[in-house]
Structure 1
């Protein structure tokens, strides 16, 4: 028995270094996705046009930010329809970090939005995944949601925004869904909700909830169809390149663990690439989301939002973003990605050559994930499509098969640890023999 315990202890000692290193690295990688940016002056609020004849849709962002695609994809779907007043709102009007470090300046604080809309609630409220779901810091958002729901607002819970609605008590006794990675956890945290598995969205009248990240497009188009007609929804789907509207799209089953490639990337890319993402005026919101979320969900790199002069940038449908650096001052970038249709960015001394992500036809996320396969590896790209809930039938997966370099790191650490233990045992035996 003593021998078994001794060998068990030795195995644990060999595995301890890579395990501890992987844990620290994974927490740092995931934590960096929602890290706040530096303090910067907040641009004055634009005089956003408001047409009282149109319904109003509001995309909510929490004080600690939100998942970038959960905000930008529904926003562009609604804005591209031309049938809604579409705004972003937060408890306070200050920069909010979207995953990957894209800092959004909301159109309104909750108080300013109330002043704009008067006695009328928003017709539709979009609730994205928040990084602090279930924590006290989300209480201002939950209280506001409860008020809007009581006043008759319709709700769209996007991805783990279903958890936000559940934590606010707005899904009790109702069917709902969320991201496949979180469904089982939510079922334990919010047992009063009838969690539905295997669907891209669940319609329960005045509340629609969606599955994984890009299921939000299906759920948002569903609301567009309900509020503005199927013809309008079809036109929006065509405009954004979403060819799956109206079709049965498969959904990943609930799971508790990420793929092996994600574990390797999160735990053993101890020196991830620093990727600059160049923000330009007029860039599409979905194009932006496709770059930040593809890189972020891959867990293989870190992104830095930059602009040519470091100043604010306004997207295609009027969202304001604050970069975290100017292109010239961006430190130590390994690559520079340019979302959207912008071409001819002048290379900066010491900066990488610009790579135009959307330089080929196709849905923005299909193209971005395909580019990830070429620049990183196919296994990482397939994981990214899976976690994005992006059907991979339109994606060209071409590139290295596996993240071999970060995989070699734990193997090398285990071998070194085993060698150290073997040397230690030999030295101990030698001293014992001499004694």
Structure 2
């Protein structure tokens, strides 16, 4: 029993220091992904242009934000076809944080959209939101219910399916979601027929997609269904996305966590020297180009990003973004998304990632592998559900410094515990030797 107790004490000692030092870092890293801005800036969006002859597609974001790729990739694809009125909508009009620190000013509030249209939107895109299942999403879920009851076609992207499921709108429907969370959603929302191993599921009025970039496949399917096969193929070609044009969802092997995925735990908890990258915002930048930078670095949990620029910026298709820093002072690098933007910025190393043609995420994954490590880039591609077959990733193989830190802390905890135990036993032994010997006094 004593041996078991000693082993338990040593195990706790090995865990205590890594947990005490790693947990705050991990919590800070995760909470920063959707941290709201604190300066109260709230510029007006562009005036919307509405053509009543076109169907209307909207991308909804909650008050606490959404995943950046889930939001911006469907928006750009739908907007680039020229066949839709496309707007971003939210319960309120203030800037909302997209993952990685990109603040979007919604073009319309729910009330504003109601004033614009005679009825529901034709297509509603639902990205993953950080507060799914919480009371703060109630304005979104109630609005979604109204839209679906009015006949809107619903497209959920990634874990946006859980937002839809929390409203009860997927009950009795087949649906899919991100491979990391789909089992959890199956337990939380058992009335949904969850399907794994597919890029998207079309169940009539509701289309759902798997993780992150599977949203591109789902959006192209919406375009094919409502506009035509040629429009979908043209949209895919414009962003460099591989698209077979069949209209059928690609089957994929259901992903599971593998030992190499431990890299994310090391990055999240023990990358104490996390690089800080400024992302330059300039008018005319593509929405998918922006998303590729913020989401690739953000999903890696190995790099922190901040939007840099002067005043509100309008993207290629008219979205309004608000930078959080003007100068980017104190940053390690300045990344410029898109094909334009400055070549020189005083006091910063400027990196252009999209000057060469290709799918925008490829260039960012290559940069992530080069500047961090290949294991982190591969983990990020798995989270993004972006196939990397044929994509060359060069860089260090593994984040060895971040791996050694918890091991060293565990060893230190064990050594300190053994040292304290040895010191205690020694003092106890010395005390026993110094104690006076009790004898029998002779009677007088």
TM-score, normalized by length of structure 2? 0.93
The CA deviation string for residues 71-101 of structure 1, in whole angstroms up to 9 with x for no partner, is: 0000011011111110000001110000001
State the match for 1:105 in structure 2: 105
Give the counterpart of 2:380 among 372, 381, 384: 384
- Look up the match of 2:232: 233
In structure 2, what is the Cα distance between the partners aligned to 1:300 and 1:251?
27
Output one character per residue of 1:319-370: Cα deviation in whole Å (capped at 9) or x when no partner.
000000102xx34211111111124333223xx2111121333100111111
Kept after mapping to 1: 8 A contact 2:75/2:86: yes
| 2:332 is the alignment partner of 1:334 | yes
Cross-structure match for 1:273: 275
Cα distance in structure 1, aligned partners of 2:342 and 2:2:
70
After superposition, residues 31-110 of structure 1 pair within 5 angstroms as 31-110=31-110
Looking at structure 2, the residues matched to 250 and 272 of structure 1 have their Cα atoms a distance apart, in angstroms, of 36
**SS of aligned partner of 1:188:** helix
For the 8 Å contact 1:340–1:357, the answer to whether it is kept is yes
Tell me if structure 2 keeps the 8 A contact 1:180–1:254.
yes
Q: What CA distance in whole angstroms lies between the structure 1 residues aligned with 2:394 and 2:62?
A: 37
Provide the C-alpha distance between the structure 1 equivalents of 2:257 and 2:166, rounded to a whole number of angstroms: 20
> Runs of 5+ in structure 1 lacking a partner?
none
**Distance in structure 2 (CA, Å) of the matches to 1:154 and 1:96:** 24
Greater C-alpha radius of gyration: 2
Match of 1:406 among 398, 402, 409: 402
DSSP 3-state at the match of 1:325: coil
Aligned to 2:436: none
1:293 match:
295
Is 1:154 matched with 2:153?
Answer: yes
Bigger drift between 50-59 and 40-49 goes to 40-49
TM-score (norm 1): 0.95
Q: Which runs of 4+ in 1 moved over 4 A?
A: 247-250
Shift of 1:269: 1.0
> 356, 359, 369: which is aligned to 2:355?
359
CA distance in 2, matches of 1:41, 1:299: 27
**1:420 counterpart residue number:** 416
Instruction: Tell me by how many angstroms 1:250 deviates.
Output: 5.5
Please tell me whether residue 211 in structure 1 is matched to residue 210 in structure 2.
yes
Count of aligned positions: 428
* Superposition deviation, residue 161 in structure 1: 0.6
- Between the aligned partners of 2:271 and 2:405, the Cα distance in structure 1 is 9
Shift in Å at residue 41 of structure 1? 3.6
Query: Aligned pair 1:11/2:11, yes or no?
Result: yes
Q: Mean Cα displacement is larger for which, 356-365 or 318-327?
A: 356-365
The structural deviation recorded for 1:396 is 1.5
Partner of 1:396: 392
**Aligned residue in 2 for 1:29:** 29
Measure, in 1, the Cα distance between the counterparts of 2:165 and 2:423.
Answer: 60
CA distance in 2, matches of 1:8, 1:313: 57
Contact 1:378 1:399 (C-alpha < 8 Å) held by counterparts:
yes
Contact 1:129–1:164 (8 Å) recurs in 2: yes
Q: In 2, are the aligned partners of 1:180 and 1:252 still within 8 Å (CA)?
A: no
Cα displacement (A) at 1:160: 0.4
Specify the SS of the correspondent of 1:259. helix
Q: Give yes or no for contact 2:239–2:358 (8 Å, CA) kept in 1.
A: no
Alpha-carbon distance in 1 for matches of 2:351, 2:12: 44
Per-residue CA shift, 1:267-316, capped at 9, x if unaligned? 11123111111111100000000000001000001111011x2x000000
